[in-house]
Amino acid sequence: MAAVSHLKVPNTLPSSNRRTLGLPPSLRQRPSVVSTAGHATPNRRTDVNGVPASSSSREDLRIGDGPPIRVAFQGSHGAYSEFAAKTAIPDCTTVPCRSFSDAIAAVGRGGADRAVLPVESTMEGTALRNYDLILCHDLQICQEISLFVHYCLLAMPGVRTAELRRVISHPMALAHCGRALAQLGLRREPVEDTAGAVQMLLSRRLVDTAAIASPRAAAIYGLDVLADGLQDASWNVTRFLLLSKPNPAGESPAVPSAKLKTSMVVAHRGGSMMILLKVLSAFSSRNLNLTKLEVNNPSLEGEGPVLVLDLRGMGFLRSFPHVIYVDFEGSTQDPKVQEAMEEIARFSVFVRILGCYAADPDVYDLHH
């Protein structure tokens, strides 16, 4: 079996430290997800359950004086979504769920206070399916967190790389590590999530099989790290959103307006290009900066319409051939933002604010 020269073979299991990476200025100006066209350097360090003291976007540890906030995530303990939740809300209690829909439903029925969903990746682009899930529920975006996704090749203790015949992991993780796995000559088999692959190794004691997961998952489950840095792209970042039930008062977070970000969806039935230009004009004429602008047009892929929960009426789902997702800097309480929203509402069929929350431009790294 051929060796993979660019992979790192660690001498010890990874520690529980993480780094916070600041995005280069050129990347912060990109209108969508983080670009692969550059690298950041560490600018401060905390432990995996700690947060930088200067960060205003971190969630309070508890709701009042009550119990820790409960965050639902898709996957098993050790999944990247769980680490995103722990990074965003350090003292939260995590609630594993089988699917993203189950995580959202947990918030709706009171089984969790938040749900965390991956929505963008530098390697995969926007996860529109997860955005569509947000549109179908009465939840709001309350926080964002970006995580550097570092993949490791994990195996049962004592197993050597030469003994491996196959590798299991989430389909996206397998795709992100395609070149390294081809060099190793391992047969790829997809499973539901990365941490689930680790649990499968342990429960079945598979000595001819490796799993792709995080270095923290290796530490949690006591597996050997045979190689790290398995991902094809050195800059591999995923953006996660945390969702909560709507704030009854409709108030913006208690941070300066300049540090707030608002997410919205614009739905329409006619041609998307004219509406897109009008949306751009509504923001640019008021010097409001966009950080994301994306059209979801499923009809081009031969798929059905986008369903959006109408919160203004009886709470029923409405269908649209295409929608536009917009993130911009600013608060819904800003008069200029309100003017832009009013202008957009005049030429679109439907506008819905998905959330107003503290912007967090940092990327957090769980690898030591």
Q: Find, among 139, 76, 141, 79, the residue nearest to 104 by Cα.
A: 139
What tokens does 65 get?
């004086």
The DSSP element (H or E) to which 156 belongs, if any, is none
Q: Of 9 and 286, which is predicted with more confidence? A: 286
Q: Of 368 and 122, which is predicted with more confidence? A: 122
Say if CB 14 and CB 151 are below 8 A apart. no
87, 161, 194, 238: the catalytic one is 238
73, 83, 148, 240: the catalytic one is 240
Look at residue 15 and tell me whether its pLDDT is greater than 70.
Answer: no
Beta-bridge mates of residue 166: 187, 209
Angle of helix 335-347 versus helix 272-284 axis, rounded to 10: 160
Cα gap 93→148, rounded to integer Å: 22
Q: Left, alpha or beta for 89 (phi > 0: left; psi -120 to 50: alpha)?
A: beta
Q: Of 46 and 201, which is predicted with more confidence? A: 201
Q: Model's pTM, two decimal places?
A: 0.79
Cα gap 212→59, rounded to integer Å: 30
Task: Tell me the average pLDDT of the chain.
Answer: 79
- Does residue 83 carry a catalytic annotation? no
Query: Which pLDDT value is given to residue 42?
Result: 32
Residue with tokens 């009171």: 110
Arithmetic mean of pLDDT, 311-318: 78
- Does residue 87 carry a catalytic annotation? no
**DSSP per residue over 13-28, as a string?**
---SEEEEEEPPHHHH
Q: Of 64 and 271, which is predicted with more confidence? A: 271
**Domains and their CATH numbers in the chain:** 152-211 (3.40.190.10), 257-366 (3.30.70.260)
Look at residue 37 and tell me whether its pLDDT is greater than 90.
Answer: no
Q: Find, among 221, 273, 281, 270, the residue nearest to 78 by Cα.
A: 221
Rounded to 5 degrees, φ, ψ at 125 are 80, -150
Q: Mind listing the pLDDT tens digit for each residue in 130-188?
A: 888 899 999 999 999 999 988 999 999 999 999 999 999 988 899 889 999 999 999 99
Give the gyration radius of the chain's Cα atoms.
21
User: How many C-beta atoms surround the C-beta of residue 338 within 10 A?
Assistant: 12
Q: Is 216 helix (H, G, I), strand (E, B) or coil?
A: helix
Residue with tokens 């949690």: 220
Say if CB 284 and CB 314 are below 8 A apart. no
Confidence grade of residue 258 (pLDDT, cut at 50, 70, 90): low
Q: Find, among 209, 217, 156, the residue nearest to 184 by Cα.
A: 209
Q: Which long-range contacts (CB under 8 A, 24 or more apart) does 267-271 make?
A: 267/306, 267/308, 267/318, 267/320, 267/322, 267/323, 267/324, 267/348, 267/349, 267/350, 267/351, 267/352, 268/320, 268/322, 268/323, 268/324, 268/348, 268/349, 268/350, 269/320, 269/321, 269/349
What tokens does 284 get?
């640019």
Q: Left, alpha or beta for 205 (phi > 0: left; psi -120 to 50: alpha)?
A: left
Q: Mind listing the pLDDT tens digit for each residue in 115-135?
A: 999 998 887 766 557 888 899
